[in-house]
C-alpha cells in the first residue's frame, strides 16, 4: 500500500457497511504547508482559431507577454508568506502538451512536478492524481487548485483570499473562491450562498451549472449567488477522502493508476490502462454539488475580489483588455475606423475594421474568425463542425510546436512542401527515415549538425544538403544560437505519419 493510500485511510476509514466515514476528531496540524496545483488540460475551443487542440489556450499569450500557464505559475509562486509552502507546484497536463508545458515553466523560472494524463478525464481525476502525489511524502498539504487559463490582475487580493480559504481548509472544509457577479453571464457556473461564516465566507448552499440568460438575470438580481471561479482550496487528504465517499469507483481507478505509475525526471506518468478506466467528471459534479446534502462534508465559499476573469470566450478576452475611447480592444496589426465595442486580433496580416460594432475578428496564418460578440459561445460548436470535416484547422496551427522547437508549413503543392524549421540550442530531432519523400535542407542561420546514413557533418549559414528517400537522418543544433533551416520536401506522399523513428530524446519511438 502506498504512503498516499495509507494517509487516505487515516482520514477516511471503511465502516462495517463498507461506506467511508470521515475521521476528523483530531485537529489538523497548525499552518499546513500550501501546495499549488495547476490544472493545465483542456482544449480551449471557444478561443479558436488561436487556441487549438494541439496548442491550447493555456500555452498562448492571450492577454499579455506570458502565456496563461506562465502567468498562473508566477501568480502562485508568491503564495504562502508567513507560512510554509512547497516551492514546486504540481502541474497536470495532457501527454501531447508535456514538453511544451515543461519548456514554458522553465522559461518562467518555475520548477514543477508534472503529472502527465495519458487521456483526458476532466478535472476531478486530475486533482485526485495531484492529491495522491502530494501525499507521497506522508505529510498532508493544503492544495491551492486552479485552472491555468484565468486572469487575476490584483495578485495581493488573490493571495489574501487564498490565505483566508486555507484557514477553513485546514479545519477540514472544501473551499472554493466565489466572485460577486458584475453582469449577467451565462458562461459561468453559479454558487447559491448559505449561512455566513467568519472573514466574509459563506457556507455553500448549492452549485448551479451555467444557467440560461433569464435565470442568470434572476441570480444576479437576487444578490444570493456568486460566480463559481473554479479555484479550490482543500487538504489533500480531505479531497481523497471525499472522493472515496462520493465517487468510490473513480477513487479506486485513480489510486490504481497512481500506484502503478512511474516517474521520468520531472514527469509522473500514471498507469495508462488504469487511468483510462476512470470516469470523466469535473470537480463540481463529482464532489462540490454534493456538499450541501452531505452532513459529513463541509463546503465553504470565500469571496474573491481581484478582477478575476475566466477566459472562456473571446468576449471575456475583450473584457480583460484595455480599450480605446470607443470600447475597442486590439492585439497585433490592427486598424479601426468608426468601429465600436470590437475586438480585433492579428497574428501577422493587417486587420482593418471600418464602421462595425460588437464584432470579434481573429486572424491567424491559416484561419480567420468573424463573430458577433453576442455569439462567441457558439465558436465551440463551429470547431466541432470543422472537426467533423477532418479539417486540420480544428486541431493544429500551420506553425506546429515540437519538443525541439517548431516548424511552419509555408507552402505546399501536389508533390512538394516547404517548411521553415526552428531548432532550439542544444536540441535535436529524432533519428528517422521516410519511405515516400526526400528532403533538401538549407541553413538560414545558426549551425546544423547533420546525420545522413553513416555520415555526420556540420552545415553553416547558406550551406545545404540533400536527404534521399529511405536514408536515416537526424538534425541537431549544437550551437548556442537558434538554428533555422528551410526544408523542401518532394515525393509521392508528404504526410507527417511517414516517419520511422529509431532514436528520440523525447521518447517518441514506437
- The reply to whether 24 falls in a domain is no
Same domain, 82 and 187: yes
304 and 319: one domain? no
Residue 510, domain member (yes or no)? no
Domain endpoint, select from 310, 329, 349: 310
pTM (two decimals) = 0.86
Count of domains forming the chain: 3
Predicted local confidence at residue 399, as pLDDT: 92
Whether residue 452 is found in the same domain as residue 492: yes
Q: Is the domain of 433 the same as that of 285?
A: no
Considering the domain boundaries, does residue 224 fall inside one? yes
- Indicate which CATH number applies to the domain containing 458: 2.60.120.10
**Res 371: pLDDT:** 98
| 423 plus 356 within the same structural domain | no
Has residue 352 been placed in a domain? yes
Same domain membership, residue 415 and residue 363: no
Kindly state whether residue 508 falls inside one of the protein's structural domains. no
Please report whether residue 470 resides in a domain. yes
The pLDDT of 430-449, averaged and rounded, is 97
Q: How far apart, in whole angstroms, are the C-alpha atoms of residue 244 and residue 301?
A: 22
Dump pLDDT digits (tens) for 331-371.
999 999 999 999 999 999 999 999 999 999 999 999 999 99
Chosen domain end from 287, 310, 333? 310
The CA-atom distances, in angstroms, between 228 and each of 39, 127, 288, 320, 449 are 16, 17, 11, 18, 52
Average pLDDT over residues 2-18: 41
Examine the domain organization and report whether 407 and 371 are in the same domain: no
Give the pLDDT confidence of 262-282 residue by residue, as tens digits: 999 899 999 999 999 999 999
Measured CA to CA in angstroms, residue 398 lies from 41, 347, 349, 411, 422 at distances of 22, 12, 14, 10, 14
Is 63 inside any structural domain?
Answer: yes
Residues 258 and 380 in one domain: no
Look up cell 444578490; give the residue: 223
Judge if 367 and 493 occupy the same domain.
Answer: no
Maximum distance among all alpha carbons in the chain?
77
161 and 242 inside one domain: yes
**What number is the average pLDDT over the span 478-504?**
95
Q: Which of 330, 319, 384, 326 is CA-nearest to residue 352?
A: 330
Q: List the grid coordinates of 199.
A: 472573514
Strand 343-346 versus strand 202-208 pairing type:
unpaired
Q: How far apart are CA 465 and CA 479, in angstroms?
A: 19
The reply to whether 294 and 441 lie within a common domain is no
Range of the structural domain that residue 327 is part of: 314-388
Q: Are residues 187 and 172 in the same domain?
A: yes
Q: For the chain, percent helix, then strand, then coil, each to nearest 5?
A: 30, 35, 40
Residue 509 lies in a domain: no
Residue that finishes a domain, picked among 360, 388, 416:
388
d(CA 182, CA 195): 22
Q: Residue 507: what pLDDT?
A: 80
Amino acid at each position: 500500500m502506498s504512503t498516499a493510500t495509507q494517509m487516505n485511510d487515516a482520514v477516511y476509514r471503511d465502516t462495517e457497511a463498507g461506506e467511508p466515514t470521515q475521521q476528523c476528531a483530531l485537529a489538523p496540524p497548525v499552518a499546513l504547508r500550501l501546495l499549488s496545483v495547476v490544472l493545465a488540460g483542456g482544449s480551449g475551443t471557444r478561443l479558436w482559431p488561436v487556441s487549438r487542440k494541439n496548442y491550447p489556450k493555456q500555452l498562448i499569450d492571450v492577454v499579455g507577454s506570458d502565456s496563461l500557464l506562465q502567468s498562473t505559475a508566477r501568480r502562485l509562486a508568491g503564495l504562502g508568506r508567513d507560512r510554509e509552502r512547497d516551492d514546486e507546484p504540481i502541474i497536470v497536463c495532457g501527454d501531447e502538451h508535456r514538453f511544451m508545458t515543461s519548456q514554458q515553466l522553465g522559461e518562467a523560472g518555475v520548477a514543477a512536478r508534472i503529472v502527465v494524463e495519458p487521456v483526458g478525464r476532466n478535472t476531478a481525476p486530475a486533482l485526485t492524481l495531484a492529491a495522491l502525489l502530494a501525499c507521497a511524502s506522508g505529510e498532508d498539504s493544503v492544495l491551492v487548485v486552479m485552472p491555468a487559463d484565468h486572469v487575476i490582475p490584483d495578485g495581493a487580493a488573490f493571495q489574501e483570499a487564498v490565505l483566508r480559504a486555507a484557514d477553513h481548509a485546514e479545519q477540514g472544509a472544501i473551499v472554493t473562491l466565489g466572485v460577486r457577479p458584475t453582469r449577467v453571464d451565462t458562461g459561468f457556473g453559479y454558487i447559491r450562498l448559505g449561512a455566513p461564516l467568519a472573514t466574509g465566507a459563506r457556507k455553500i448552499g448549492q452549485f448551479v451549472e451555467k444557467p440560461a440568460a433569464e435565470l442568470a438575470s434572476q441570480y444576479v438580481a437576487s444578490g444570493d449567488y456568486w460566480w463559481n471561479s473554479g479555484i479550490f482550496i482543500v487538504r489533500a487528504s480531505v479531497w481523497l477522502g471525499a472522493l472515496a465517499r462520493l465517487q468510490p469507483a473513480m477513487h479506486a481507478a485513480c489510486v490504481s493508476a497512481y500506484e502503478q505509475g512511474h516517474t521520468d525526471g520531472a514527469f509522473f506518468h500514471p498507469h495508462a490502462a488504469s487511468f483510462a478506466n476512470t470516469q470523466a467528471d469535473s470537480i463540481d459534479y463529482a464532489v462540490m454539488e454534493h456538499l450541501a446534502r452531505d452532513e459529513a462534508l463541509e463546503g465553504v465559499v470565500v469571496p474573491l475580489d481581484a478582477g478575476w476573469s475566466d477566459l472562456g470566450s473571446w468576449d471575456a478576452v475583450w473584457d480583460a483588455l484595455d480599450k480605446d475611447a470607443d470600447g475597442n480592444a486590439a492585439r497585433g496589426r490592427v486598424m479601426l475606423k468608426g468601429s465600436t465595442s470590437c475586438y480585433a486580433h492579428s497574428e501577422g496580416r493587417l486587420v482593418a475594421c471600418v464602421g462595425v460594432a460588437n464584432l470579434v475578428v481573429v486572424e491567424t496564418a491559416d484561419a480567420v474568425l468573424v463573430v458577433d460578440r453576442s455569439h462567441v459561445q457558439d465558436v465551440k460548436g463551429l470547431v466541432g463542425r470543422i472537426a467533423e470535416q477532418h479539417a486540420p484547422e480544428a486541431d493544429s496551427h500551420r506553425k506546429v510546436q515540437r519538443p525541439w522547437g517548431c516548424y511552419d508549413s509555408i507552402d505546399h503543392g501536389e508533390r512538394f512542401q516547404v517548411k521553415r524549421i526552428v531548432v532550439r540550442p542544444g536540441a535535436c530531432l529524432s533519428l528517422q527515415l521516410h519511405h515516400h519523400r526526400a528532403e533538401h535542407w538549407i541553413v538560414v542561420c545558426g549551425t546544423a549538425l547533420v546525420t545522413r546514413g553513416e555520415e555526420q557533418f556540420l552545415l553553416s549559414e547558406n550551406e545545404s544538403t540533400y536527404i534521399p528517400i529511405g536514408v536515416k537522418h537526424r538534425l541537431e543544433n549544437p550551437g548556442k544560437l537558434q538554428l533555422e533551416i528551410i526544408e523542401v520536401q518532394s515525393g509521392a506522399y508528404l504526410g507527417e505519419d511517414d516517419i520511422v523513428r529509431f532514436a528520440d530524446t523525447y521518447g517518441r519511438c514506437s
